[in-house]
Amino acid sequence: MLVIKALHISLVVAWFAGLFYLPRIFVNLAMVPADSVAERDRLLLMAGKLYRFMTPLGVLAVGLGLWLWLGFGFTGGWLHAKTTLVVLLIAYHLYCGQLLRAFIAGTCQKNHVWFRWFNEMPVLVMFAVVFLVILKPF
């Protein structure tokens, strides 16, 4: 089980790297002038590759988390809270995919300030999850 736990933690770290960086690319995309096609295309290429790379990492992280859950049992309020936050992260990840498709289609109407706030959400969730896992407060 320790190998599964180590793999889970490593995959979570890698998935979070994508969750931190993809919205930052969205900030830059929202700031690209309309006439800067090459810059927009380059950022879209980066965002698409990152999303395709981070999705399997997230799937594997969640899958190994489920394996650990089945191995150790689903007990304690902290684990219920953590699971809720993981579900929110999955929704965040999928919403990033919708935003990417909107950028590709040229229909994204959100500005860079909105994306700057959006970019902070996984950081806050990460802090909450780490504190829940380490402290197990309830």
The pLDDT of residue 73 is 78
Number of domains composing the chain? 1
State the binding site. Answer: 8, 82
Helix (H) or strand (E) holding 111: none
Q: How many residues does the chain have?
A: 138
pLDDT in tens, 43-86: 999 999 999 999 999 999 999 999 999 888 778 899 999 999 99
Q: What is the mean pLDDT of residues 87-103?
A: 98
The pLDDT of residue 42 is 98
State the binding site for heme. Answer: 8, 82
Structure tokens at 21: 């960086």
The packing angle between helices 37-72 and 77-105, to 10°, is 160
Amino acid at 12: V
pLDDT in tens, 14-23: 999 999 999 9
pTM (two decimals): 0.94
The pLDDT of residue 120 is 97
pLDDT in tens, 26-44: 999 999 998 999 999 999 9
Q: Which structural domain range is residue 22 located in? A: 2-135
Burial class (CB in 10 A: 0-12, 13-18, 19+), 12: buried
**pLDDT(2) > 90:** yes
Instruction: Say what the alpha-carbon torsion angle 130, 58, 125, 91 is, to the nearest 10 degrees.
Output: -150
Amino acid at 20: F
d(CA 39, CA 45): 10
The pLDDT of residue 74 is 74
Q: HSE-up of 78 (CA within 13 Å, CB side)? A: 11
